[in-house]
Amino acid sequence: MNEVNFRERILATGAPAATVLIRLMVGAVFLSEGIQKFIRPAEIGAGRFAKIGIPAPETTALMVGTFEIVCGALVVLGLLMRLAVIPLIVIMLVAITTTKVPILLREGFWEMAHEARTDYSMLLGSIFPFIVGAGRWSLDDRLHGRTAPLRSPRQP
């Protein structure tokens, strides 16, 4: 695959402008959670990772927090969207595996479903823009070569 073709596949989007709502929700949550891993390490960062048995919790929390901050900001901006959500999808899959599967095994489906509702929403909210792109109101769309000004779909 040549460089132009790769750039085209990463930046192209046919998603509507309303995709910005998904981007803002997903990006803001990841950005906030990443920051909190640094300012509340005992509760949300390394302390939490140690409690649930994540190996090398200090290093892992630093890495996860950094990815959440950087990728969360990219998602909000709609910049390199398809690349930015890949680490976020991995983070959510690990979170579900390490925290929700034990609840399923210990307490059953309904308790796990209740506890996992945010995780599943964040996972699906990250998969959606991976599939459709960042949408019309994004930096990806601008970099892809759109030159027309952004308009609401109802404007002529």
97-150 per-position pLDDT tens digit: 999 999 999 999 999 999 999 999 999 999 999 999 999 999 999 988 754 444
Q: Answer whether residue 152 shows pLDDT above 70.
A: no
Q: How far, CA to CA in Å, does 114 sit from each of 103, 104, 120?
A: 10, 10, 10
Lowest mean pLDDT: which of 9-13, 40-44, 131-135?
9-13
What DSSP string describes 111-133?
Answer: HHHHHTHHHHHHHHHHHHHHHH-
- Checking if the pLDDT of 48 tops 80, the result is yes
For range 86-107, the mean pLDDT: 97
In Å, what is the CA distance from 111 to each residue of 87, 94, 120?
Answer: 27, 19, 14
pLDDT of residue 140: 93
